[in-house]
Structure 1
Amino acid sequence: MSQKSKMFLSGVVEGFYGRPWTMSQRKELFRREQKWGLNAYLYAPKDDYKHRMYWRDLYSPEEAEQLMTLISAARERDVEFIYAISPGLDITFSNPKEVAALKRKLSQVCGFGCRSFALLFDDIETEMCPADKEAFSSFAEAQVSVTNEVFLHLDEPHTFLFCPTDYCAAFCTPSVPQSAYLNTVGEKLNAGIDILWTGPKVVSQHISVASIEEVSAVLRRPPVIWDNIHANDYDPQRLFLGPFKNRPTELIPKLRGVLTNPNCEFEPNFVAIHTLATWCSYGQKDVSMDGDDQGSDYNPHEALRLALSDWLVEFGRADQPDGAGGGRSKRQASDEEPMQTDGYAPGPRDNPLYTAEPLTLDDLTLLSELFYLPYEHGATAVLMLQELQWLSQTLETSEGVEWRRRAEKFDDMCAAVVQMFNRLSNVPNRIILYDLYNYICDIKSGVTMAKAYVKTLGETRSSRTPLRCYKFTVNHGFTGIIALMKRLFHIHSKVSQNKNRANKV
């Protein structure tokens, strides 16, 4: 293998379930990858029918033109475009016609200028059909046989990735070292083919050096990490804006690469991809241990601050360059209509003109901490949940002054979330806002209801009217307590109505 083919792959896999990104968003991704020092993009959107469900079908001339344009755009940005196909839903491995259809499809993409490919067998049934049971001794052998044949058919492409059905340690029976499936893959898969791996779980909280050394021994090669730490396709109510973390940079020399499979929404992935790039850059430096849990000078909190600082600039861009975001183009000055405020000055008794407050870095930090990572809330979110829990559980046992002080503190934190929402709602870059809007509306709703709940608690404390309190823990998270808050708000509204009726009687 050439030295270039051994280059550490770093970048993005578009491999989630849900609406695929647009062509213009992908071009913008390539621009960002080049700017931040990343070098790879794996095309694997689950809802592209011709990638997965109708994998046998060739691309139409219109689709072919789009893919050629995309492959060319990646090449211009020095990003390796890796085309993936997922035939595992219904392929008959032992049928030569099926293998020929797979070769024909990949040869078509090769004709578009693509030089790197991936064959994915993730998230499929493991039971073989009768014909395959007669031809192969195991499911792994069937997959390896077809993959090796396709690899040779493509004349040993620049990069070729294989995603096993058992793609994380949790799927391996009885363990990674004793997995018959993985041992077959490691032993019989062509040495020029690299293998994708998500870590201990599908969404791994930590990926340790020891775990990678263990799987590498079985696979007989270093894996490429398909990292789902920022993926949100399994829960559409969640978004992840925390930093890339809990992967020591000592992993880098033990891996073939790392590709992040992030949020379905394109624009919020600025943080995920930016912090991955920072992680990769630190891993490539010759640094000594400093005692940090990351195992190097990489600091996820500092990486997040750098990402949010750069992202703040993007929020201020009213017009996107051609091919960025949603493809908004700048209007010519001659096309601009006069603004309603031109020449208008309110009188002393009129309403003053509305002025939108600019978004701040503190606002984005708060946003990130409310939508942090799958296994971890940000510091402010943890504090708010702890305060809500304390206020709910100590209504009758704490000192009145202390309870009111902490209630006011919680009220201020809720106000900061609402203020963040208002500033975000007025940012010039509407493209980013629209990707965030449903999430920030939910957060605003949740904290508003939590604020109303605490206010009701305070009123009942003063009047000594019994009221049922609820226990909260930090495990609820804000997205988890929104529904509960709606229920509480409804209950307490009924209580207030009943009290008003009683007073009238």
Structure 2
Amino acid sequence: MGQAKSKLKKVSKSKKNEPQTEDKTDEVGFMCGVVEGFYGRPWTAEQRKELFRRMEVMGLNTYLYAPKDDYKHRLFWREKYSDDEAALLQALIEEADTHNVLFVYAISPGLDMVFASPTEIAALKNKLLQVKSLGCKAFALLFDDIDPVLCASDLEEFQSSADAQASITNLMFETLQQPRFIFCPTEYCASMAIPDVSTSIYLKTLGSKLDPNISVMWTGPKVVSHVINVDSIKTLSKVLQRKVVIWDNIHANDYDPKRVFLGPFKVMATKPGRSTHLIQHIAGVMTNPNCEFEANYVAMHTLATWWKSFKPERVEESAAANESTSKPVTSSPTNQSKPLDDNFNHGDYDPDKALYEALIAWLPVFSLAKYPTCKVVPRSGTPPAMPMVPNLPIVSHSPIATVCTTKNVTKPVVSVVCKDNAEGDKLTTNKADCDVQMEENDGKLEEMQTEGEGNKNKLDQMETEEVTVTEANVPMQTDDADSDVSMATANSSAATDVEEMQSSSPDSKEREVTQQNELSKDNPLSVEDITMLAECFYLPYEHGVFGRQMVQRFRWLKDKAVKMSQWKNKKSEDYLDKALEWSEKAMIFEEQCRRVQGVFNKICMCPNRALLYDLFPYLWDLKGVVTMLRSYVKWLGPTSTFGWVGPDPEPWVFRGGLSGEFQRLLPISSAFDLFCQTLPRSPQVSTYIVRPYVPTDEESVFSVCYSTWDDGKRDMEMFENHKQLPADRLTGALLTLSPEYCFVVEDESGICGYLAATLNAKDFWKKYELAYLPEMREKYAKPESEDEMNDAEKMIVDLHSTDDRYGYGSDSLAVTHPAMMTLALTQCAYPNVAKSMTVCLLSALKSHNSSGVHVIIDSNSKYFQDLYTKLGFTEITDSPSSATDGVTIYGRIF
């Protein structure tokens, strides 16, 4: 123990007394490249080799190997690599060198290392020397995301964690004969510095004790920084006594399984930062990008463009002073409605131009015949651990005040008939939002009058919702195994190729890609298509132009629909003008929704299945939410906001990206489980349409009810003469008495499912007795004998019964679950459609102030009990109905 202490302090002392020499960054150049440092399944060896090839073409020069879930990098850092693992690592190092990429091997011993233990020091030495023997020329020690408190034995040897980390880092630096070396501190951003950067004892200790030729990594003001300005870097450099290497998390998505970032390397639209003027003050910039390898083309390409845009001869010292100071992000209308800041000095870098150039270069990649070589983890296919809160808008729009709709609408506010519009396919490439005028008009609207209390109303018809699902050809594999992996498993494609081969032969893969080639030739992707894609999955703190336009239009339509429903004189010229304007905006929004659907279909047909499989979970989420919005323009309810979020939060506060923001605009945003739909096994397109019920659908709905009665398993001969009887018992009544809350789902062959409901079950059953049953009793004559009746005869007897139809309901049920619903799907219907229809219904009910719904289920129907359980329903045990009644009541609060 004492010998280890002496050796460590000797190294630290000798370096402290040496004169400050020129930073070694000048010898090896500015480091610009990629950090594989995210939490999640590491990339495979083949993906890394492709990464090196792309980096060479783009002009990036450094790769840092630091996957958090490679257990020999972090959790079991002491273990040396096996022969197979070492051979694979050596091959990667050689491949990187072939493409002029510096391979930096990083190790993270900070979780449990005893700094004063000779055994621990020897283990770290041996591990790094093994990697050096494989040809590695650069190394990194990472002490991020750890508890900095030292153990008792370390406290006897070192004054602080910074002292211990600097000592062990200096020793490894000397042991490896002073190679290119990088250090990641525990306080790696300004928000973690205690108390702040300029007075942090930890950072000052590193500055004085860490060898001056060792680079220090820094993420900026926060873990995910939207502002990194020159002044803050100058302050940090003085404290650390060296230039820093920026570890940039602007494209990292490991904190939110529903977001992927395809925007350019840039600042937030309303904030400065990341000017090329930074380059002369730092030793490098490395992006820690998306977990999905194929999603990182734009991030890498635009970073390379940013670096190559730097022209030292054109940089003036006054440039940094011209940068705006950082201001916290708030949800205030002033901050969020601010126009894009075009006055910020990016230096010679134009992020919009860089994005366009990156997309031009990325487009051919979609056409490459490429297969996925690893298990695909559908990160967005499983429900999140918590609801996607808070209900805060992300960027560029003012929050709409909570609106409580207490009256229904007597007539449709507008009749929106959406037709294909060629102009809808043209992308707005400038930064000026077309909805600025829309927002300006908000203030000009005169106060609308409310209708009288006595008026009874009906709901408006809603727009169609298309639900695209896929049939299984090549399985999209999921990963249920432990995420901890080693170099031999996660980094090698060999282990996963076997599993892929088991499910899909090379011939079947080739046939699939050939089919996709033929389809994609008929309807190829364009630059405009992937520009829209990038603008929907833009950056952590902002949406792209297309995404912002959709959010603003949807908010505008929602707000105006509520106001117009309260207008008293619906024949006035002012009202008609407003209705026409609303209709025009709705048509534009409809076209945008169609465009999202079209791009989704095109990408699903692209030959590059590896790229598709990386993007598909995010496309699936976005497409699902957007298509729902087409049905909710007139059904949207109030949006809540939460005030507990700080003024300048990290991006993981805003869950779900554009899809999450759309979800928060729906009145049932808290029902997050209904938005987490199971990913299909293979991304091939088949379209379902969820739409409101119309009277001409009655025959088809009755047919579905007939075919699905008793789970579709019973012999239906007893209904041969009464095929409408299963539907007439309940579904027909809902279609007759409450059609505004009924929906159908169609596929290519016609209607394959329905959902029928009523806003108030207690009132419904009264109308059922008075207005519906008399007609049914005339239609179905009561059997003369009630002995040995079949199910059809029992149903007819029930229609003639005078029992209280709401006898199953308690007073509490009428308060907590007043609405009632029933649904049915044929066997050919995709299960996720049930969730889509339920979202439609719950949104409609919520907009009319209902917050609970119940269903009546046959106690013997395991299928429907399981189906409703998956839809978030639970059994209501205080219902007066019992097992002898043969029914069970399930309910859901929303």
2:618 aligned counterpart, secondary structure: helix
Distance 2:552 2:88 in 1: 50
Give the counterpart letter for 1:445 in structure 2. G
1:88 aligned counterpart, secondary structure: coil
State yes or no: 1:495 paired with 2:741.
Answer: yes
Cα deviations by residue, 1:334-375 (Å, 9 ceiling, x for unpaired): x9889999xxxxxxxxxxx99751111111011111110001
Query: Shift of residue 471 of structure 1?
Result: 6.9
Query: Shift of residue 75 of structure 1?
Result: 0.5
Q: Report the counterpart of residue 870 of structure 2 in structure 1.
A: none
Q: Report the counterpart of residue 210 of structure 1 in structure 2.
A: 231
Farther-moved stretch of structure 1 (310-319 vs 211-220):
310-319
Distance 2:98 2:658 in 1: 42
Task: Indicate if the aligned counterparts of 1:84 and 1:119 stay in contact, CA closer than 8 A.
Answer: yes
State yes or no: 1:441 paired with 2:620.
Answer: yes
Task: Indicate if the aligned counterparts of 2:638 and 2:667 stay in contact, CA closer than 8 A.
Answer: no
Distance 2:556 2:303 in 1: 36
Cα deviations by residue, 1:79-111 (Å, 9 ceiling, x for unpaired): 000000000000001111111110010000001
State yes or no: 1:100 paired with 2:122.
Answer: yes
Task: Indicate if the aligned counterparts of 1:392 and 1:471 stay in contact, CA closer than 8 A.
Answer: no
Q: Report the counterpart of residue 34 of structure 1 in structure 2.
A: 56
Distance 2:216 2:293 in 1: 26
State yes or no: 1:358 paired with 2:520.
Answer: no
Percent identical across equivalent pairs?
Answer: 47
Distance 2:196 2:639 in 1: 42
Residue in structure 2 matching 1:278, options 299, 305, 310? 305
> 1:23-422 residue pairs with structure 2 within 5 A?
23-157=45-179, 159-246=180-267, 247-284=274-311, 286-287=313-314, 292-319=343-370, 356-398=522-564, 399-422=578-601
Query: Shift of residue 273 of structure 1?
Result: 0.3
Query: Shift of residue 283 of structure 1?
Result: 1.4
Residue in structure 2 matching 1:478, options 658, 678, 688? 658
Task: Indicate if the aligned counterparts of 1:28 and 1:324 stay in contact, CA closer than 8 A.
Answer: no
Cα deviations by residue, 1:379-427 (Å, 9 ceiling, x for unpaired): 1111111111111122142421122211111111111101110111111
Query: Shift of residue 241 of structure 1?
Result: 0.5
Farther-moved stretch of structure 1 (272-281 vs 479-488):
479-488
2:141 aligned counterpart, secondary structure: strand
Query: Shift of residue 478 of structure 1?
Result: 2.5
Q: Does the C-alpha gap of structure 1 residues 321 and 76 become closer, same or farther in structure 2, counting only changes over 3 Å? A: farther
Q: Does the C-alpha gap of structure 1 residues 83 and 397 become closer, same or farther in structure 2, counting only changes over 3 Å? A: same
Cα deviations by residue, 1:217-240 (Å, 9 ceiling, x for unpaired): 000000000000000001111100
Distance 2:639 2:580 in 1: 21
Distance 1:321 1:408 in 2: 39
Distance 2:513 2:189 in 1: 57
1:118 aligned counterpart, secondary structure: strand
Distance 1:96 1:219 in 2: 28
> 1:437-476 residue pairs with structure 2 within 5 A?
437-454=616-633, 456-457=634-635, 468-470=637-639
Query: Shift of residue 305 of structure 1?
Result: 0.3
Q: Does the C-alpha gap of structure 1 residues 471 and 386 become closer, same or farther in structure 2, counting only changes over 3 Å? A: farther
1:128 aligned counterpart, secondary structure: coil
Q: Report the counterpart of residue 13 of structure 1 in structure 2.
A: 35
Query: Shift of residue 292 of structure 1?
Result: 4.8
Q: Does the C-alpha gap of structure 1 residues 143 and 372 become closer, same or farther in structure 2, counting only changes over 3 Å? A: same
Task: Indicate if the aligned counterparts of 1:213 and 1:254 stay in contact, CA closer than 8 A.
Answer: yes
Q: Report the counterpart of residue 687 of structure 2 in structure 1.
A: none
Q: Does the C-alpha gap of structure 1 residues 381 and 172 become closer, same or farther in structure 2, counting only changes over 3 Å? A: same
Farther-moved stretch of structure 1 (5-14 vs 48-57):
5-14
Give the counterpart letter for 2:139 in structure 1. F
Distance 1:119 1:337 in 2: 47
Distance 2:492 2:55 in 1: 13
Cα deviations by residue, 1:305-334 (Å, 9 ceiling, x for unpaired): 0001111111111247999999999x999x
Farther-moved stretch of structure 1 (318-327 vs 378-387):
318-327
1:394 aligned counterpart, secondary structure: helix
2:109 aligned counterpart, secondary structure: coil
Give the counterpart letter for 2:364 in structure 1. V
Task: Indicate if the aligned counterparts of 2:144 and 2:185 stay in contact, CA closer than 8 A.
Answer: yes
Query: Shift of residue 4 of structure 1?
Result: 6.1
Cα deviations by residue, 1:416-474 (Å, 9 ceiling, x for unpaired): 101110111111111111100000010100101111111x44xxxxxxxxx8454799x
Task: Indicate if the aligned counterparts of 1:388 and 1:472 stay in contact, CA closer than 8 A.
Answer: no
Q: Does the C-alpha gap of structure 1 residues 409 and 118 become closer, same or farther in structure 2, counting only changes over 3 Å? A: same
Compute the TM-score of the two structures, normalised by the length of structure 2. Answer: 0.50
Q: Does the C-alpha gap of structure 1 residues 332 and 16 become closer, same or farther in structure 2, counting only changes over 3 Å? A: closer
Cα deviations by residue, 1:53-86 (Å, 9 ceiling, x for unpaired): 0000000000000000000000000100000000
Task: Indicate if the aligned counterparts of 1:27 and 1:324 stay in contact, CA closer than 8 A.
Answer: no
Query: Shift of residue 113 of structure 1?
Result: 0.5
Q: Name stretches of at least 5 consecutive residues in structure 1 with no aligned partner.
A: 342-352, 458-466
Q: Does the C-alpha gap of structure 1 residues 273 and 453 become closer, same or farther in structure 2, counting only changes over 3 Å? A: same
Greater share of helix? 1
Question: Larger Rg: 1 or 2?
Answer: 2
Q: Report the counterpart of residue 427 of structure 1 in structure 2.
A: 606
Give the counterpart letter for 2:588 in structure 1. K
Give the counterpart letter for 2:79 in structure 1. D
Q: Report the counterpart of residue 349 of structure 1 in structure 2.
A: none
Give the counterpart letter for 1:449 in structure 2. M
Give the counterpart letter for 2:289 in structure 1. P
Query: Shift of residue 23 of structure 1?
Result: 0.4
Cα deviations by residue, 1:264-315 (Å, 9 ceiling, x for unpaired): 0000100000000000000146446898524312110000000011111111
Q: Does the C-alpha gap of structure 1 residues 405 and 472 become closer, same or farther in structure 2, counting only changes over 3 Å? A: farther
2:41 aligned counterpart, secondary structure: coil
Query: Shift of residue 39 of structure 1?
Result: 0.5
Distance 1:230 1:99 in 2: 35
Q: Does the C-alpha gap of structure 1 residues 191 and 396 become closer, same or farther in structure 2, counting only changes over 3 Å? A: closer
Task: Indicate if the aligned counterparts of 1:389 and 1:471 stay in contact, CA closer than 8 A.
Answer: no
Q: Does the C-alpha gap of structure 1 residues 411 and 115 become closer, same or farther in structure 2, counting only changes over 3 Å? A: same
